[in-house]
Chain A
């Protein structure tokens, strides 16, 4: 996961930084594999965990 930041100056002079994140190619691939495995749960062992929340 790569981190990016964008700094702005607020009206009163204070700074504010927006952090955003992007998956690396490797992570994208890993996520695809996980999604594939989750669509075939019989291939997962009992110790596998996965989150159903959107921003994983």
Chain B
């Protein structure tokens, strides 16, 4: 990172990715479309977010204030990138650990600002839109209502957010954090919600790292409203964590059923995994 950031000490830094998949000034498409194959410009923005200047830092050991700062930066990036006319979706994510292909150990995340709504998110939004049309309620609000009624898969909650292992978990320790109220995106957050999100994030990361006694790798994805302003009624802010470990020393591999058929095999009950995460320290949500 010393070659990327011309300062040794800093708080949080964001910079354009050196090897971006999408570029602001992307090349014009020169190939002509056929009746079957269509082309499009790879226009967008890819950013790297350094969470701290501490190269070997472990995020779960960082104080709550660092998470609050990070949430503020994420909100700012969502706003700034989403304001660009060629951007449809600002996707904030983190790949953590060698097990998910990361070679850079410095605590960092990434942001892809796409000129379209990515397919997984589009499908999710379409399902929520359809449910809203049929039942008159946001699918995520309903899902959270049912999860709270059942209670067995809930790990922790505070005034603004609830963390749970979803009913249809694809990964053993998959965790979702949902806004308790219908918050479509970072643009709708209050200051209290910033702090509450930071608190529940820190608590979940502490639980993850205490689970097996090592920094648990994961893929983290933040899902929220597309930035063109559509879908306010059916977009619901949430964060999804996908840790690849299914036991302390066994990884979950995507194989025939998952890759070839799109059917995830999970041989664990989400209720049991939620209990395990509830029993893993710390108890309750860290508070300010």
Seen from chain A, the residues whose Cβ lies within 8 Å of a Cβ on chain B are 1, 3, 5, 10, 12, 14-21, 47, 49, 51, 53, 55-56
Contact = CB atoms under 8 A, between A and B. Distances in A.
B7 A18 contact: yes
Contacts of A21: 11, 69, 72
Contacts of A10: 6, 15
A3 B13 CA distance: 12
B247 interface: no
Interface string B158-181: 000000000000000000000000
Interface of B: 4-7, 10-16, 18, 62-66, 68-69, 72-73, 76, 286-287
B39 to A, nearest CB: 26
Contact of A5 (B4, B65, B76): B76
Contacts, number: 57
A35 to B, nearest CB: 14
B-side interface mostly:
mixed
Nearest to A51: B63
A55 B72 contact: no
A17 B13 contact: yes
A1 B75 CA distance: 14
A21 B72 CA distance: 10
Contacts of A1: 65, 68-69, 72
27 contacts: A1-B69, A1-B72, A3-B69, A3-B72, A10-B6, A10-B15, A14-B16, A15-B15, A16-B4, A16-B5, A16-B6, A16-B13, A17-B13, A17-B14, A18-B10, A18-B11, A19-B12, A19-B14, A19-B69, A19-B72, A21-B11, A21-B72, A51-B63, A53-B62, A55-B66, A56-B64, A56-B65
